Amino acid sequence: MKLDNYERKILAILQEDCTLSAAEVAERVGLSTTPCWRRIQRLREAGIIARQVALVDRRKVGLNAQIFAQVKLNAHGRQHLDEFTTAIRGFPEVLEAYVLMGPVDFLLRIVAADIEAYERFFFDKLSRLQGIQEINSIAALSEVKATTALPLDAV
């Protein structure tokens, strides 16, 4: 679906605050309420607006450690790729998982209460998965930038 300028503006606004009413969004983009609402509905139906969620501050709920784990599978492990990905999807500690090209096979973003909690997750769950050759864990010290907003002007 090709986005016009109004749709880009609507998406930019909703990426910042999806609790706004269609009338509030319409006012900000310079449309009347009904056409704006219709555009929002089309964006939802097209799957461009995939879902609307509340973003929770992980630190305020006690998840103070953020770890990036680089996982390399052994040759035998690649045969069990579906099992590995299913297991990863089942771990609530893993917020994001990416299949990579290069020296490692996966990059995982993991949260935990603290490093000791991550250590328990590492030894009790992650390292027990079949086919893993190597896991390199990198703890994030601070967050310089974190956003969920896509750069719509770039497309």
Residues 117 and 88 in one domain: yes
* Same domain as 32, residue 89: no
Give the count of beta carbons closer than 10 Å to the beta carbon of residue 24.
Answer: 14
The CA distances from residue 7 to 11, 24, 70, 96, in Å, are 6, 15, 37, 28
Q: Is residue 15 part of a domain?
A: yes
What is residue 31's DSSP assignment? -
From CA 105, how far away is CA 107, in angstroms rounded?
7
Task: Give the separation between CA 19 and CA 53, rounded to whole angstroms.
Answer: 10
Q: For residue 154, is it within any domain?
A: no
**pLDDT of amino acid 134:** 96
In terms of residue numbers, what domain contains 118?
A: 58-139
53 in a structural domain: no
104 neighbors 70 (Cβ within 8 angstroms): yes
The single-letter code of the amino acid at 102 is G
Which CATH number covers residue 40?
1.10.10.10
Read off the pLDDT of residues 51-76 as tens digits, 9 standing for 90 and up. 999 999 999 999 999 999 999 998 77
- Report if residue 72 sits inside a domain: yes
Rounded mean pLDDT, 11-37: 97
The pLDDT tens digits of the residues spanning 77-105 come to: 677 788 899 999 999 999 999 999 999 99
Q: Is 121 exposed, middle or buried (0-12, 13-18, 19+ CB in 10 A)?
A: buried
CA distance 24 to 40: 12
- What is the pLDDT averaged over residues 131-154? 94
pTM summary value: 0.88
Report how many domains make up the chain: 2
